[in-house]
Amino acid sequence: MSSEKYPRSSIEDDFNYGTNVATASIQIRMDFLKKVYTLLSLQIILTTAISALFMFCQTIKEFVHASPAVVLVSALGSLVLLLALAMYRHQHPVNLYLLLVFIVLTAVFLSTVTFYEYFTVLQALFLTCAVFVGLTAYTFQSKRDFSKMGAGLFALLWILIIASFMRFFFNSDSTELVLAGVGALVFCGFIIYDTSLLMKQLSPEEHILASINLYLDIVNLFLHILRVLDSMKKH
């Protein structure tokens, strides 16, 4: 009986497209998690640094307040970069370059934090970090299957988006507080869902995609917590 002259190693098998992290070896799983959370940490640090520059540099802060189009352009640019990242997520190092530009544009979009008080922003930042760490720890130790949450979360997200547009016609402090609170809960759900997803459905080479999913969850949770805290102050 003939055998392969150069049999494939388990690592080569683990990196085949379509293989998820859960079925990979322990070494591959640990390397994958290390890459995901290292990238995520770098994204958060860079975003925080750029946002702090917008907050504490008076010239830049005044420019943002006088030029709301900057926020709009950065938001649209972020969406375009997301599509590009989805298309090139397996192409290294193009995906890393796209990721860097995406983070910078997202950080510019987050310059909206300059419209809030410093203490409120810090409160939102610490609360977001605490919630993320807590939910991540819960998801990793839980034996529950969170994959079924996806459909419900995306349905709630669309309802939230539509309600946010309606807010422009029926605006009130109470409505703002309710929508911000619901939004925060929705993205808490997304953190649990995406943390579960990165282990059970993504393949080992998709660490950039996994880090982006969690990054967007954190950013959106932060923005909603910020709105909640600001609305509570007004009440």
Above 80 in pLDDT, residue 168?
no
| pLDDT tens track for 109-161 | 888 787 888 899 999 999 999 999 999 999 989 888 888 888 899 999 999 88
* 215: DSSP letter: H
H-type alpha helices, the chain = 10-14, 26-56, 58-66, 69-87, 94-109, 118-141, 149-166, 173-200, 207-234
pLDDT in tens, 57-110: 888 888 877 887 888 888 899 999 989 988 887 788 888 899 999 999 998 888
Closest-CA residue to 179 (of 225, 134, 144): 225
The answer to whether residue 49 scores a pLDDT higher than 70 is: yes
Please tell me the pTM assigned to this model: 0.85
3-class secondary-structure state, position 146: coil
Residue 199: band (very low, low, confident or very high) from pLDDT cuts 50, 70, 90 = confident
> What are the DSSP calls for 107-135, one per residue?
HHHGGGGGGS-HHHHHHHHHHHHHHHHHH
Cβ atoms within 10 Å of 128's Cβ, excluding its own: 24
The residue ranking higher by pLDDT, 38 or 51, is: 38
Q: Give ∠ CA 197-113-232 in degrees, rounded to 5.
A: 90
d(CA 100, CA 122): 24
